Amino acid sequence: MPASTPAKDLPRITARDGIGGAFAFKRDQLGFLAGGIERHGDLFRFRPFGIPMVMVNHPDHIRHILVDKGEQYDKDAAIFKVVRPVLRKGLIANADMDLWRRQRRMMAPHFTPRTVAAFARNMTDEAVAMLERWERRGHATGGERPTGGELLDVTDEIGQLALRIVNRSLFSADVGASAQAFERAFGVANSVLGAFFRFPFPPLGVPTPSHRRLHRAIADMDDFVSAFIRKRVAEDVPTGEETDLLTLLLHTVDEEDGKGMDLEQLHHEVLNICIGAYETTTNTLSWAFYLLARHPEAEERLHEEVDRVLAGRVPEFTDLPRLTYTRMVIDEALRIYSPAYQFMRRARQDDEIAGYRIPAGSNMLINSYFLHRHPEFWKDPERFDPENFTPERIAQRPKHAYIPFGSGHRICIGKHFALTELTLVLAAVARGHRLVMPEGAPEVRPEALITLHPKGGIHLRLERR
């Protein structure tokens, strides 16, 4: 047998590349990574502020890390260390595999497609109530009452909608006006930690003005969650017909060790779900409205489908299989502006990918902003084209060329919830309204925080169709 070729060292961004070093990463993370891809391709290493990172931008290598060797790559990685002061022991950033497995096992039954179907009504009720609020506040123009509607802060409005939906569905909680306080607090955490990820100095324990703002924001998010957990604990609702996720988490015991969840863990899980569910769905819908406002031909096809399938009705869960173009619009918005655009795994032991050495301890950076624009798998990747998601085109691509919800055992637990919500809310709005670009409005750029956020938010005008 021929001796196998020894693994090579990964190409590394060096001063000679003209891409810049750690400070270029701090200044413009996306620009820095784009430079790295241009110079070195789909797999290269760099070391911002001494942290060993490996950029992974090929579907085969991403499948290797997330699926084929998923157990060898954990979440004890730089980006999860940065967000852990907020997310703590909850599912999203948990690196303790035994604890994670136990928690995921307990929570997964509440997130199956069948369970999610029961929440569809909440989703559309809340969307209809939002449209009524917009109408009452005089935002809508056209139709029978052509008033000069004020611009809608779409990101803020949809943020409140997303929080109401997730809290009502999973925790039977009416978060009312406190949704805005949560949004503000999350915005602070996203921006302070986004900057800290790019430049991790001084440590978060040092009370700089921005770190103090972060700690206040964490306390505000904790208060938001504690308010309804405290109420539920006091009520002591038994499990039964109307069991929601909160009651279940309070009462469930693990099938293997027979133990329940303590209140601290419960708090962290509820907060993780609020955070995991809120900004991601908000951004996807906001970008979807923005993209539709800029692409009238796609908007026309969406309206044609919604009119044909719904004939004026509010959408229902059973309409989903026929709302195919609506779903394609969502899938394409998730491609171009993937909200959870960067995540990481730490190599627990030495490995080899495509003939390159991956030393233990490497922080494997997966960035779907670039993956979803990879020229080998996407034609004209900057163009908004829902046709990218016809069954034929999907079949032509490797599965891991598109991973807005991640993949493998840590795949988003809320994927079905999110896709149901996004498709139903988009159809519910498109049924009677459209969101249009104000004249002369500048292009909205994505901002690379911990999540990919529309810089300055998305502001559109509401018209009745």
Residues within the interface to ligand HEM (CB under 6 A): 91-92, 104, 166, 272-273, 276-277, 280-281, 284, 339-340, 343, 404-406, 410, 412-414, 417-418
Instruction: Find the radius of gyration of the CA atoms of the chain.
Output: 23
The type of residue at 122 is N
Sequence-separated (6 or more) residues with CB below 8 Å from residue 150: 137, 138, 139
Asked if 196 contacts 204 with a C-beta cutoff of 8 angstroms, the reply is: yes
Q: Which is nearer to ligand HEM, 425 or 430 (CB)?
A: 425
Nearer to ligand HEM, 19 or 452 (CB): 452
What DSSP element (H or E) covers 230?
helix 209-235
Do residues 418 and 281 make contact, with C-beta atoms less than 8 angstroms apart? yes
96 vs 352 by CB, closer to ligand HEM: 96
Least separation in angstroms between CB 376 and ligand HEM: 21
Return the closest-CA partner of residue 192 out of 218, 154, 170, 171: 218
Nearer to ligand HEM by C-beta: 293 or 340?
Answer: 340
CB of 343 to ligand HEM, least distance (A): 3
Closest of 96, 76, 62 to residue 408, by C-alpha: 62
Nearer to ligand HEM, 105 or 465 (CB): 105
Please, what is the minimum distance in Å from the beta carbon of residue 435 to ligand HEM? 18
Considering the complex, state which of residue 76 and residue 319 has its C-beta at the smaller distance from ligand HEM: 76
| Minimum separation from the CB atom of position 377 to ligand HEM (A) | 18
Q: Across-strand partners of 44?
A: 55
CB of 282 to ligand HEM, least distance (A): 9
- Closest approach, Cβ 277 to ligand HEM, in A, equals 3
Q: Closer CB to ligand HEM, residue 24 or residue 161?
A: 161
Chain centroid to CA 408: 16
What's the closest the beta carbon of residue 448 comes to ligand HEM, in angstroms? Answer: 15
Position closest to ligand HEM via CB: 414
Q: In the bound complex, what is the minimum distance in angstroms from residue 350's beta carbon to ligand HEM?
A: 22
CA distance 276 to 428: 23
Q: What distance in Å separates the CA atoms of residue 115 and residue 104, rounded to the nearest whole number?
A: 16
Would you state the structure tokens that stand for residue 312, as one six-digit string? 């004026």
Chain length of the chain = 465
Tokens of residue 269, six digits:
């899980």
Choice between 29 and 280, CB closer to ligand HEM = 280
Closest CA to 80 of 51, 103, 108: 51
CA distance 132 to 120: 19
Q: Which has the closest alpha carbon to 153: 164, 161, 145? A: 161
> Least distance in Å: CB of 366 to ligand HEM?
8
Burial string for 183-220 (b: 16+ CB within 10 Å, else e) reads bebbbbbbbbbbebbbebeeebeeeeeebeebbebbeb
Nearer to ligand HEM, 149 or 332 (CB): 332
